[in-house]
Structure 1
Amino acid sequence: MAPAPFPRAARLLTPKDFARLRTVSRRVGTRHFSAEVAANELGGARLGLAVSKRVSKKAVRRNRIKRIARDSFRHTRDGLPAVDILLVARFSADQEDNASLRAELVRLWQRIATLNGAEGVGTMRA
């Protein structure tokens, strides 16, 4: 398998990036994850993660979910359009094993890849 880096340019880093997604994005969801997706002009997909203490009180369990999500994104990033993605884990994600989380993330990335610039699909904002 070819190496799949996760460079700094592929991450949402600043509070401004996260705030923009909270206001102008479209939502795409699965059973254990919710993704807020918005087009960007940077030429590649970027990922931000939100796994709160509501998902699990134990940091090791939250970090497991983040590690699986980052790894899945690294291997799928080239097939995604130029979008910013804020991936929010739901409470139920902590109860699932690694293989089922990976499979669900693959389905989520596929749904995001089929969006037309993240416009016109998903839940409308008020």
Structure 2
Amino acid sequence: MRAAALPRDARLRRAADFAALRTVSGRLGGRCFLLRFGNNDVDTARLGLAISKRCSKRAVDRNRIKRLAREAFRRARIALPHVDILVMARDSAVKETGEALLAELDMLLRKVRPLKREGADGTIAR
């Protein structure tokens, strides 16, 4: 079990990292998930999860979605650019099968690309 664990440096842990993704980031959406992503200064892609009670009141449902999101990220991590990714679930994720959720996350993670750096005038080019 330990060999498949997500390493500490591949997770978003600080509140400032989450806040940065909520303000200036790229967005991708699907039926069940919304992904926000932005460049980072570390040598690997990092994952953050924000699965709220609005998605489901039951902790067992939220934990299932988190496990599936971590698994999809674990599979795609080698091919991802050096970005931070925040995964948020929609209400419809609770009703979907695990295979459907993994397929959607795989598709969204393949679309993630690094954002262009800030220009001379301080704006972010996309």
Which TM bucket (shorter chain)?
A: 0.7 to 0.9
SS at match of 1:66: helix
Spell out, residue by residue over 1:69-98, the C-alpha distance to the aligned partner (whole angstroms, 9 max, x if none).
001101110100000001000111011010
TM-score by length of 2: 0.87
Distance 2:72 2:78 in 1: 12
Structure 1: runs of 5 or more not aligned: none
Runs of 5+ consecutive residues of structure 2 not aligned to the other structure: 118-123
Larger radius of gyration: 2
* Deviant stretches of 4+, over 2 Å: none
Tell me how far apart the structure 1 counterparts of residues 41 and 82 of structure 2 sit (CA, whole Å): 7
Structure 1 residues 19-61: Cα deviation after superposition (integer angstroms, max 9, x where no partner): 1111111111111100110011101100000111111110000
Indicate the residue corresponding to 2:95 in structure 1.
Answer: 95
Partner of 1:118: 115
In structure 2, the residue matched to 1:71 is 71
Cα RMSD over matched residues?
Answer: 1.6
Residues 39-78 of structure 1: matches in 2 within 5 Å?
A: 39-78=39-78
Distance 2:39 2:59 in 1: 31
**TM-score, normalising length: structure 1:** 0.87
Shift of 1:4: 4.4
Secondary structure of the structure 1 residue equivalent to 2:13: coil
Greater relative contact order, per chain length (Cα 8 Å cut-off, separation 6+): 1
**Partner Cα separation in structure 1 for residue 8 and residue 78 of structure 2:** 15
